[in-house]
Structure 1
Amino acid sequence: MTVMTQSLQAMPGATPYRWWALIALALAQFLVVLDASIVNIALPAIGSELHVGTNMLGWVITAYVLPFGGLLLLGGRLSDRFGHRRLFIVGVAGFSVASVAAGVSVSGDWLLVARAVQGTSAALLAPAALALLTKLFADPQDRAKALGIWGAIAGIGSAAGVLLGGILTSSLGWSSVFFVNVPVGVLIIATVPFLISKDAPSKRTSLDMPGAATVIAGITALVTALSGAERVGWASPQTLILASAAVILLSSFIFLENRAANPLMPLSIFRNRWVTGGNLAMFLIGGATTALFFALSVYMQQILHYDAMQAGLSQLPMAGALFAIAGVVPAVVKAFGTRRPLAASLLLLAAGLIWLFFAPSDAEFAIHLLGPTMLIGVGLGGAFVSGTEAAVHGVADEEAGLASGLVNTSQQIGGTVGIAVLTALSSARTEGLLEQGVAQPQALTSGFAWVFLGAAALAILGASIVLIVIPALKKR
């Protein structure tokens, strides 16, 4: 054994195969992101075969998102407490087993339980994966490159869901959208122990269970309120009660964290302006992108009459631009720091969304959609990478899991808030135009256009916050 290898193995989490390890970590994150969208195309087939009604089909998505978003902070803390590699492997194993269970579901209830286990497992593996990345790549330049690869692979997961969902469902049936996770999960579990050395658990002896209980309940109440608001009404008793409960529970969480001996989320972490600015940016990025992918997919299929596969293929240029720019961002960050590339990426994202706002009801892809979606891909690639880097900058190793769980939580809650608010705005716009006698295609197109414009406003707000909150120039 060489002296270099001995020194690497002496470092917690270090490995001479760290770039190969990065691929395994990024693939796991790809599965987590992919599974939030790939199921959408399969929902009609699931409903038909399992005899599941429309309302319950919505819970096939919610059953995954609720535990995922609600448990991310606890998952990050658990990985700090018991070891990032251990929790990562446990999360991938649980995700793979739950994917098999979902694929062989014989009833709607069975499927919902499997989806909930998938979401819980994702909440364990996602923060552990990002924490492992930050520990494996301690050098700022190497970390920037690693985050570029991470952001590219994970970002493509969002765009690939519609495409893969359409191909798999039409060719192999709805079960295949779950079974596709299994070989990737098995490969990751088999290789990670050889690629990443075991890291030492934290010296913390206890977990903040009161804090964990209140934040899980608070986030669950918030996500449930926002997810159901469009269906039952923003002023309905259900929405108001759940929203009030979320405010009370999350306020209680902050109160408890100020007094806990070993808090789940030490509020002192927000003294780091990079963490604060990065999380605010990722919250707004999550809101803009979740609403964008939903509205763009429905616009293409309902207004332009693309089938599922055409809708997926039409997003390949966006995914290609995202992948390409994510590889360039590390060099830009090295030259200019994180603040300006992140703000510029958000403004490019906003510009693409504003361009998309003008797409008509009879849009031609090459003329009206190709340009704005590629510009959006450039903005997303830069924003995902630089935003994630900002959110974990300057965090101590013992809080790497917490910071990673926090950035994932910010993005997930941002997505929930964004799609709830912007789709409500879209529906109000469409209904108003229909009442005025505007033809349905034009009214629907105008409604979707307001989603794109609202998402652009979120991106512009994010750029403004980044420039105010994150310190001026800090070359990496």
Structure 2
Amino acid sequence: MTQSVTDGAPTGTVTAPPGQEQSPAQQSGKRWWILGVIGIAQLMVVLDATIVNIALPSAQADLGFSDGNRQWIVTAYALAFASLLLLGGRIADLFGRKPAFLVGVAGFAGASVLGGAANSFGMLVTARALQGVFGALLAPAALSLLNTTFTDAKERAKAFSVYGAIAGAGGAVGLLLGGILTDALDWRWTLYVNLVFAVVAFAGAWMLLGNHRDAAGAKLDLPGTVLVSAGLFSLVYGFSNAETHDWSSPQTWGFLIAGGLLLAAFTWWQTRAAHPLLPLRVLLDRNRGASFVAVLITGAGMFGVFLFLTYYLQLNLGFSPTKTGLAFLPMVAAMMVMAQVATTILVPRIGPKAVIPAGFALATVGMAWLTGIGLTSSYASAVLPQLILIGAGLGVVMPPAMAMATSGVAAADAGVASATVNTMQQVGGSIGTALLNTLAASAATRYMTDKNPADKLARAQSTIESYTTAFWWSAGFFAAGAVIAFLLYRRGVQQQDADGAPVVHM
């Protein structure tokens, strides 16, 4: 393994210092098997953000909880996952990525079984929260394992294209799998199915992974952990409340302000802590910071595709849950193809400054085009081409951004850097959920202001108005992402700030 520190361009190559030699996994072909194990685990975590959504009506009818409580089946997972991600990443650095991965997989599977067997609303919410807890340990361990396993530049690009495509397409896969399981079996199987993923991932990790404790000499930053966990919890909870409360409600703005203050205090503490939870050197590199922002914006904008298009396909076009999931497959295919092209060809040759803004621009055009849907539109003309374009754009953005967000991070910080990527995606999704839901509901209300509430056609058209409003705002998110990415990313390939962590070419 070799290391070169760049400041504008590669300046030389030095032999890796002792302790940083390639592990046996890195020297053999089994690293591709490791990629498969990591991919399965990541798919399990990502699809659980959406797989339960399609099953919610069935679960609600079975367990008898109210419409007001329904959101907590989704929110409980998001709150636990988002607020504990940085802690989970640091645990992987301190105590080893293999045990963190194994405990995360086993715990996630156990929580899924608990949820599938739930006989009450409280039991199901508890299970979803526990899924979030163990997911927060599993997700950063998986990404940091990928970051430290693949050291060759070309192989790393291919690996991250696969991982990024899974991270981006997992939501759509969740919709498809949730629809099939709900239609063919029962809503409980949207949770039980995780056992299949978990058994394969656990067995593969047990046999293939070695254990490395790159930050074994450090200590856990307890004040930082409390500050960032409480801050992220408050932020996600505040945005979640915006869906069911007015933005003027103290339960919305109060928690958002508290979250902002706690995260500001966390940032201040990280400059003074002896063993910071999130060393600021991880954030100081310009390209890495731009990548974190890109993941955040993508998380916010993608919500408009998955949620509101799901509503449109099922409620307006009459698609079944299974057919709805199948309708997203062309988007997934476009995303996976462009992920390979972007990470293995475009970014290595051109650099991120041109490529990632171009991906955002493609997604912007696709979302804007999607606003042309109507009550009598057909999937083939009004949805399919737009989905392919959006998928292609997101495939150009997500995998390269995730790769650059963890590239060049010291081995001791790999877990927490990976956790930051997942945190950005989760917080972005929470922001998108709250903003787009609120804006869509307001648009529907405005449309019905001078209409007869008993007019079925007017009510149907008001839903179209709400969907297209959400799509326009999602297009706005992606357009902003294009501008921000163009301004933040440096020209050229793999350039790094001198005060950031060194870029490691392996």
TM-score range, shorter chain: over 0.9
Separation in structure 2 between the aligned mates of residue 247 and residue 336 of structure 1, nearest angstrom: 37
Partner of 2:368: 354
Unaligned runs of 5+ in 1: 1-6
TM-fit CA distance, 1:360: 1.7
Counterpart in 1 of 2:239? 226
The answer as to whether partners of 2:349 and 2:493 remain within 8 angstroms in 1 is no
- One of 449, 452, 465 as aligned partner of 2:468: 449
How far did 1:281 drift?
A: 0.6
Higher helix share: 1
Mapped contact 1:14–1:197 kept (Cα < 8 A): no
Confirm whether residue 472 of structure 1 aligns to residue 484 of structure 2: no
Alpha-carbon distance change, 312 to 435 in structure 1, aligned in 2, over 3 angstroms = same
1:334 aligns with 2:348: yes
- The aligned residue for residue 440 of structure 2 is 426
- 1:37 is matched with which residue: 21, 29, 50? 50
- For 1:287 and 1:255, locate their aligned partners in 2 and report how far apart those are by CA, in whole Å: 27
Which residue type is aligned with residue 468 of structure 1? L
| 2:146 aligned to which of 110, 129, 133 | 133
- Tell me: CA distance 1:433–1:235, structure 2 relative to 1, closer, same or farther (3 Å): same
What residue is the counterpart of 1:288 in the other structure?
A: 301
1:61 aligns with 2:74: yes
Name the counterpart of 1:268: 281
Whole-angstrom CA distance in 1 between matches of 2:210 and 2:272: 35
| CA deviation after TM superposition for structure 1 residue 345, in Å | 1.0
Alignment of 1:300 onto 2:313: yes
Question: Do 1:8 and 1:15's aligned partners in 2 also have CA atoms closer than 8 Å?
Answer: no
1:220-242 C-alpha deviation (Å, 9 max, x unpaired) = 11111111112110001221221
Letter in 2 for 1:474: V
State the match for 1:3 in structure 2: none
Task: Specify the alignment match of 1:183 in structure 2.
Answer: 196
User: Percent sequence identity over matched residues?
Assistant: 38
Relative to structure 1, is the Cα distance of residues 44 and 168 closer, same or farther in structure 2, using a 3 angstrom cutoff?
same
Q: CA RMSD in A?
A: 1.8
C-alpha offsets along residues 293-317 of structure 1, whole Å, 9 cap, x if unaligned?
A: 1111112222222221221121111
Q: How far apart, in 1, do the equivalents of 2:170 and 2:156 lie?
A: 21
> Which one-letter code corresponds to 2:383 in the other structure?
L
1:196-275 equivalence runs, <5 A: 196-275=209-288
Separation (CA, whole Å) in 2 of partners of 1:36 and 1:10: 35
Tell me which amino acid in the other structure corresponds to 2:422.
N
Alpha-carbon contact 2:47-2:173 (below 8 Å) kept: yes
The letter of the residue matching 2:48 is D
Name the structure 1 match of 2:23. 11
Change (3 A) 1:358 1:139: same
Q: Distance in 1 between matches of 2:352 and 2:253?
A: 39
Which of the residues 379, 388, 407 maps onto 1:365? Answer: 379
**What CA distance in whole angstroms lies between the structure 2 residues aligned with 1:201 and 1:212?**
19
Q: Does 1:277 align with 2:290?
A: yes
Question: Which amino acid letter does the alignment assign opposite residue 350 of structure 2?
Answer: F
Equivalent residue letter for 1:95? F
What is the TM-score when the length of structure 2 is the normalising length? 0.90
8 Å CA contact 1:426, 1:448 repeated in 2 = yes
Deviation at 1:353, TM superposition (A): 0.4
Distance 1:311 1:323 in 2: 19
Structure 2 unmatched ranges of 5 or more: 1-18, 453-457, 495-504
1:92 aligns with 2:111: no
Deviation at 1:268, TM superposition (A): 2.8
| Cα-to-partner distance string for 1:56-83 (whole Å, 9 max, x where unaligned) | 2211111111110111111111111111
Query: Tell me, what secondary structure is at the counterpart of 1:263?
Result: coil
Q: Using the alignment, how far apart are the partners of 2:96 and 2:74 within structure 1?
A: 30
CA deviations on 1:18-69 (whole Å, 9 max, x unpaired) are: 0111011011111111000000111111111112222222111111111101
Asked whether the 8 Å contact 2:147–2:407 carries over to 1, the reply is no
The separation in 2 between residues aligned to 1:100 and 1:469, in whole angstroms, is 44
Partner of 2:423: 409
1:10 to partner: Cα distance? 5.7
Q: 1:14 to 1:86 in 2, by over 3 A?
A: farther
Cα separation, 1, equivalents of 2:491 and 2:62: 56
Q: Which AA in structure 1 matches 2:442? A: A
SS of the equivalent of 1:259 reads coil
Q: In the comparison of the two structures, how many residue pairs are matched?
A: 470
Q: CA deviation at 1:207?
A: 0.7
Distance 1:369 1:146, change over 3 A: same
Q: Which position in structure 2 is the counterpart of 1:49?
A: 62
Residues of 2 paired with 1:204 and 1:363: CA distance? Answer: 61
Pick from 165, 169, 181: which aligns with 1:168?
181
Could you tell me which residue of structure 2 aligns to residue 4 of structure 1?
none
